[in-house]
Amino acid sequence: MEIQEVAGGVMVFNIILMLTFMVFGLCALAFWLWMLVDCLKNEDSKGNDKILWTLVIILTNWIGALIYFFVRRPERKRNQSPRANLA
């Protein structure tokens, strides 16, 4: 009986672990899509900034999205005019 109880506990642990990774993966995918759309919609088309950041986000997946979120997005938000925030 003890072996079955241990096997049942391991099975529950595996299911919980799998669900945790699935939730993390879905959150990472949603964040990646959010940053990609943000870059494509809001990044200036002057120069190659939009192309470069789009490639960084696409090729490095969620790590690139994190880089964009912490490096470029705050800089772009600071440089926006006050009128753009009101619209």
C-beta separation of 43 from 50 below 8 A: yes
Locate the domains of the chain by residue range: 2-86
DSSP states along 15-80: HHHHHHHHHHHHHHHHHHHHHHHHHHHHS--STTHHHHHHHHHHHHHHHHHHHIIIIIHHHHHHHS
Predicted model pTM: 0.74
Helix (H) or strand (E) segment spanning residue 84:
helix 82-86
Q: What is the pLDDT of residues 35-80, one digit of tens each?
A: 999 999 988 878 888 999 999 999 999 999 999 999 988 787 777 7
- Reply yes or no on whether the pLDDT at 1 is more than 60: no
pLDDT at 16 over 90: yes
In the prediction, which pLDDT does 76 show?
Answer: 75
pLDDT of residue 37: 95
